[in-house]
A and B are shown apart, each in its own frame.
Chain A
Amino acid sequence: MKSLTDTWKLFSLLCLVGAVMLVLVPQLWIVISAFKQDGGAFTLQSRNGNLSLVSEGMTRFSPISSENGTVQLERPDGFSVTFEQQQPGITLIRASEPLELVAGHIGTRFQLTGENVDVLIEQTVVLDIFGNSGAPVLVPEQSGSNILLRHEPKSFLRFQDRRQHFSLQNFREFLTRSTYLEAIKNSLIVTVLSTLFASLVAVPLAWMVARYQFRWRSACIAMITMASVSPPFLGAYVWRMLLGANGLLTNALGLDWTIVGMHGVIWVIVWLLYPLVFLMSLDSFSGVDPTLRESALSLGASRRRSFWNIEVPTCLPGILTGLYMAAMAAFSDFGTPFIISLDLLILPKLVYTEFLNETGGNPSIASTGSIIMLVIATLFLAMQRLVLAGRSFASVTSRKQVLDVPSTGMKWLIYGFAGTVIALAFTPHAVVTVTSFLEWRAGTVTSVPTLSNYVNLFSNQMNSVWVSLSTAAAATALSLFFGLSIAYVIVRKRYRVIAPVLNGLVMTPYIIPGTVFAIGFILAFNQEPLLLTGTWFILVLSYFIRMLPFALKTGEATLYQIHPAMEDAALSLGAKPMRVFMGVVVPMMLSGAITGATLVFLHSVTELSSTILLYRPPWTPMSAVIFQNTVSPGANFGYAAAMAVLMMVILYVPLALVTRKRKSLSQ
């Protein structure tokens, strides 16, 4: 079918260009470094007038000979190098090609170049803390095509060829080393189990709320949405405080266990994620055409059969989208395992620590890990697509949902279920609220009541409230506009190449760890003419790009439930495609849009991992303030707790408005 509208195609192309600029270009460094490998390295130890090879930390090189203070090494490409210690502290460096000393700063390191190598040689000597014997000796001299080096007789010399080559070695290493395989395995277990448990909690609850009229129904929706407002790290922090080996509840109940470990990671992530699945499922269940259900019931299907045969399949796009978003969030969550897993190896933590590492880390491996995460995420996406493919889920929702009155048993089931879920989800919030009124000392809470946390907060940090709200609001507006439009392109227009590529690009930031994403942003926007680092704009841009998937996915799920005939009707009445979209489609997407906007806003305000690298005073958002007061072991968590409480209070106001709006929509 020929495209009806060039306006949409043009718009899609513009979005594609934007996505390339904002997603692909900044993150290109990840892709590049994953496929690159440097020329190899090794370390020699000089001691007692002898030179010996240290077997660990050697890459690409292998020793040929090592005797009498002379060590010769070779690389698979034929390059070889010989270190010959002529007398203690004087070593001749020879290579299979002429080496040339690079002029410049020489302190503990110097550089050599050759035809095939860019070498950095670094000397490490034992730090003489109390002797202060002056600078260690390290003097290289060009000696023909060789280098004569004077160095400390007792030292380590590390040879590193920093020239980059294209290589698949990083992937080979990632997929064979036990550490990395273990991390992949653990990540998959955590993702699958936490998504499964979150859906076991959220889907039935969403169904009950969508079907039945009961007291506190809208309060229940509001509470669950509120529960999803969690200041960063809060859940993990509090659960550990309560149920750790020495936790408040563990001690109170005399338990001999700890939440620290994989089970704790899953537990905490479940409570982080279920609101997401709940909200998306609720939108879907509420959108089911009641006639479908009624006709199934009238045909003699039991309630249960009608649920499994009619409602679940019809709601599948919404539920699956929720599950997919939850799975991706679980898959890329780094904060929770960071706090609650201790020594558990897991991909996002691994990528984070290899990238952002004070010991230099291993950026190539981190990049490789990121790409492997992307591949796995793409597989998840493909699975979701596969389940949805070729099935038309549209059900026209022109008939109003009539809420059933639950039987007494069902009513108590709902109260019990919803009550438990809300109580568990709110535990962190409640605990942090209580502790914000207590004194904290050296990173632990005391039982001394105080208001000083708040006094401190209100006198110092009010500016951050405005920074958080304004950046989040701007990001929400942008996400909403582009999210709904791109969802429309993906679901309705289905341009052959543009739509899937756009979809993939927009979803990518969702699974890149926030910190890694932020580094890319800094690299891309730290120079004229796009000098945005440290400004209000870079926060907005980062929130927008990182939260756009929420708007996109909720928009998609809603669109799947809007029958295309609704648009055809408007087209035949003389409305052009853009008018149809704005005047007819957008109003129908409103409930989904509100969900999407809520998620974008809440996640923007609570976003931390990219914020901490991107913010610069005076644009300090609340999440950064919380982080500053949580991060170091001696931090004043009381202050962070007070800010977290303030953040929750501030978020609940717009949330209440949204809930009221949703209520009025459903009436």
Chain B
Amino acid sequence: MTTSAINGSAGLDVSIEGLQINFGDFTALKPTELEIRNGELFTLLGPSGCGKTTLLRCLAGFTKPSAGRVRFNGKDVSALEPWDRGIGFVFQNYALWPTKTIAANVAYGLEMRREPKDMIREKVASTLRMVELTEAAGKYPGEMSGGMQQRAALARAVVIDPPLLLFDEPLSNLDAKLRVKLRRDIRNLQKRLGLTAVYVTHDQEEALDISDRIAVMRQGEVLQVGTPREIYETPENAQVADFVGKASFLSGKAISDDRFRLTDGTEIKAKMSFQTNRDNAVAIFARPEAIALVPVDQGDLNGVISEVSYLGNLTRYLVRIGDQIVLCETRDDAVLGQEVGLRLPPLRTFDTLPDRQKSEEEV
């Protein structure tokens, strides 16, 4: 009954069809379509308040949809209660029960399924071994570090062999180094078990590192779905480009297939992939590391270095072009105040500039 949604394989397909979630008058999730494939690690990425956690909690059954439905392997589970879904959930704050030992925490899900005692003992032991917590079985959560607690929480979630594992910012309470190690561990475990995972994070670096595919969300909407590479290299709009990785934008207007006039009148001649209809294009975008510094007049346009910060493997420059600033990260040398040329990669055009105010604090 609890794993009714599974069919043979370890994971399952998730279809989200026209799903909408309202809290009173507030729409937390606008009508959304998503397909999550069996066995993939799918990430919902976005700033806080974008609806990613709401969507995740809806998959778990904690929140009921206001409209649309969720299907597991084609079966509509929208009305199914969380305890009947058999899904694993890993929480941001671990949510281990402080009154139970680690072993008891992990055993809980199996006890709910009335598994035989021997089987529970074995399964708990093997799962703890898997997350390298064999030693900690008898400890209470309060006696362990955050990283150990999150591994215990992971063990608790996977011990019931869920076909779908949900992660709600599981690493955000941990320090940077541990985060990197643990996210690789999570991905390896997910691949080894072959289950489907949906992972919520606001950390774009984490999302790029861990995901098979990413859905970038903002203000209750999915902006783009794609592999990390697609998201990073071919963002479909300015918000995605800005949120994932660093971005350099220049505003102006496209005047032909290879010419763009900046707001101060400077014209740029560069190769453009017109992602937006040329008539609507008001911004051009490039990744800062793809922009090269060259001597004056030898690039696609000229500018003045207004800020230099040396980062070791490369140097970050802010280059003033008219009344706009472009970010450029390169190994090329230049000094403050120097006039330089910029050689641009193929540019993407968008019909809006990113809404920086809202995204700055999140990135």
Q: Are B160's CB and A568's CB within 8 A?
A: no
Stretch at the interface among A395-403, A522-530, A643-651: A395-403
Give chain A interface residues in 557-577, CB to chain B under 8 Å: 563, 565-566, 568-576
User: Which residues of A lie under 8 Å from residue B64 when comparing CB positions?
Assistant: 1-2
Stretch at the interface among B11-19, B89-97, B130-138, B176-184: B89-97
User: Which residues of B lie under 8 Å from residue A574 when comparing CB positions?
Assistant: 2, 83-84, 86, 109, 112-113, 160
Query: Chain A: which residue is nearest B88 at the CB level?
Result: A572
Q: Are B97's CB and A575's CB within 8 A?
A: no
**Is A386 at the interface (CB under 8 A from chain B)?**
no
Mark interface residues in A1-35 (1 if CB within 8 Å of B CB, else 0).
11010000000000000000000000000000000
Q: Are B156's CB and A398's CB within 8 A?
A: no
**Is A139 at the interface (CB under 8 A from chain B)?**
no
Of the candidates B85, B97, B160, the one whose C-beta lies within 8 Å of that of A566 is B97
User: Which residues of B lie under 8 Å from residue A576 when comparing CB positions?
Assistant: 81, 83
> Lowest 8 A-B CB distances belong to which pairs?
A400-B142, A573-B109, A565-B95, A574-B112, A398-B141, A587-B99, A572-B89, A571-B82
**Is B60 at the interface (CB under 8 A from chain A)?**
yes
**Is B108 at the interface (CB under 8 A from chain A)?**
yes
Of the candidates A398, A570, A584, the one whose C-beta lies within 8 Å of that of B94 is A398
A-B contact count (CB 8 A): 98
User: Which residues of A lie under 8 Å from residue B157 when comparing CB positions?
Assistant: 572-573
The docked-state distance in angstroms from the alpha carbon of A579 to that of B143 is 26
User: Which residues of A lie under 8 Å from residue B91 when comparing CB positions?
Assistant: 565, 568-569
The docked-state distance in angstroms from the alpha carbon of A565 to that of B109 is 15
Of the candidates B81, B82, B143, B173, the one whose C-beta lies within 8 Å of that of A568 is B82
CB distance from B153 to the nearest CB of A (A): 8
Given A571-B62, A572-B83, is A584 in contact with B97 using a C-beta cutoff of 8 Å? yes
Given A568-B62, A572-B60, A573-B109, is A563 in contact with B95 using a C-beta cutoff of 8 Å? yes
Q: Are B149's CB and A398's CB within 8 A?
A: yes
**Is A193 at the interface (CB under 8 A from chain B)?**
no
Q: Are A590's CB and B95's CB within 8 A?
A: no
User: Which residues of B lie under 8 Å from residue A62 when comparing CB positions?
Assistant: none
User: Which residues of B lie under 8 Å from residue A249 when comparing CB positions?
Assistant: none
The docked-state distance in angstroms from the alpha carbon of A568 to that of B62 is 7
Q: How many of A's residues come within 8 Å of B, CB to CB? A: 27
Mark interface residues in B45-76 (1 if CB within 8 Å of A CB, else 0).
00000000000010011111000000000000
User: Which residues of B lie under 8 Å from residue A568 when comparing CB positions?
Assistant: 57, 60, 62, 82, 89, 91, 95
The docked-state distance in angstroms from the alpha carbon of A225 to that of B63 is 42
**Is B98 at the interface (CB under 8 A from chain A)?**
yes
Residue among B96, B97, B141, B173 facing the most chain A CB atoms (10 A cut-off): B97
Q: Are A579's CB and B142's CB within 8 A?
A: no
Query: Chain A: which residue is nearest B89 at the CB level?
Result: A572
User: Which residues of B lie under 8 Å from residue A575 when comparing CB positions?
Assistant: 83, 108, 112
CB distance from B90 to the nearest CB of A (A): 9
User: Which residues of A lie under 8 Å from residue B245 when comparing CB positions?
Assistant: none
The docked-state distance in angstroms from the alpha carbon of A122 to that of B157 is 82
Query: Chain B: which residue is nearest A4 at the CB level?
Result: B81
Q: Are A569's CB and B63's CB within 8 A?
A: no
The docked-state distance in angstroms from the alpha carbon of A398 to that of B142 is 5
User: Which residues of B lie under 8 Å from residue A573 when comparing CB positions?
Assistant: 83, 108-109, 112, 156-157, 160
CB distance from B198 to the nearest CB of A (A): 13
Mark interface residues in A390-420 (1 if CB within 8 Å of B CB, else 0).
0000001111100000000000000000000
User: Which residues of A lie under 8 Å from residue B99 when comparing CB positions?
Assistant: 587-588, 590
CB distance from B19 to the nearest CB of A (A): 15
CB distance from B51 to the nearest CB of A (A): 15
**Is A433 at the interface (CB under 8 A from chain B)?**
no
The docked-state distance in angstroms from the alpha carbon of A584 to that of B149 is 17
Mark interface residues in A157-175 (1 if CB within 8 Å of B CB, else 0).
0000000000000000000
User: Which residues of A lie under 8 Å from residue B62 when comparing CB positions?
Assistant: 4, 568, 571-572
CB distance from B20 to the nearest CB of A (A): 14
CB distance from B338 to the nearest CB of A (A): 38
CB distance from A355 to the nearest CB of B (A): 45
User: Which residues of B lie under 8 Å from residue A397 when comparing CB positions?
Assistant: 98, 142
User: Which residues of A lie under 8 Å from residue B166 when comparing CB positions?
Assistant: 572
**Is A427 at the interface (CB under 8 A from chain B)?**
no
The docked-state distance in angstroms from the alpha carbon of A369 to that of B256 is 83
Mark interface residues in B263-277 (1 if CB within 8 Å of A CB, else 0).
000000000000000
CB distance from A554 to the nearest CB of B (A): 17
The docked-state distance in angstroms from the alpha carbon of A566 to that of B98 is 9
**Is B345 at the interface (CB under 8 A from chain A)?**
no
User: Which residues of B lie under 8 Å from residue A587 when comparing CB positions?
Assistant: 97, 99-100
